[in-house]
Amino acid sequence: MNIGDAAKATSLSPKTIRYYESINLVVGDRLTNGYRNYADAHIHKLRFVQRARGLGFSIDDCRALLSLYEDQNRASAEVKNIAKKHLQEIEAKISELQGLRETLSHLVAHCAGDHRPDCPIMDGLSGVLHDTSEDESRLH
């Protein structure tokens, strides 16, 4: 299987597959003409990585997960630890973004959005804290 077909089979781009090879994540075979060649086992690994990346796992996590994937004697606890850590990171990110959304949606809601220069959003960014002490806590 050439790289183009492997790309179609894995929903990855040829570029990405070459990149994964360059970082030694998934390395396929080579034909005598220099073309990369992918067997089923490679395709499975690439798809595995594609799904893991789709779940937001870092390349380093993918590397660890791949080696567990190949390990017949793995303990599921190891997999679970990686996943739990990633889950916590996701939850932290969600919290952070929810905080930003809070602040931003308040600012946006209070801005007239017309032709005049007066703007609570600008005031907020300038450090002119207008209303409540909540706003201050949001911006510091």
Interacting residue ranges for DNA, rule: CB under 7 A: 2-5, 13-16, 18-20, 33-36, 53, 58-60
Residue 36 or 45: which CB sits closer to DNA? Answer: 36
Residue 23 or 108: which CB sits closer to its own copies? Answer: 108
Structure tokens at 133: 């002490």
Interaxial angle between packed helices 59-69 and 40-54, expressed in degrees from 0 to 180 and rounded to the nearest 10: 140
Least distance from its own copies to the Cβ atom of residue 72, Å:
7
Q: Which residues pair with 37 in a beta bridge?
A: 29
Name the binder of 36 from its own copies, DNA, none, CB < 5-8 A by kind: DNA
Name the binder of 39 from DNA, its own copies, none, CB < 5-8 A by kind: none
CA distances from 37 to 47, 48, 55 (A): 16, 18, 27
Q: Rg (Cα) of the chain, in Å, rounded?
A: 24
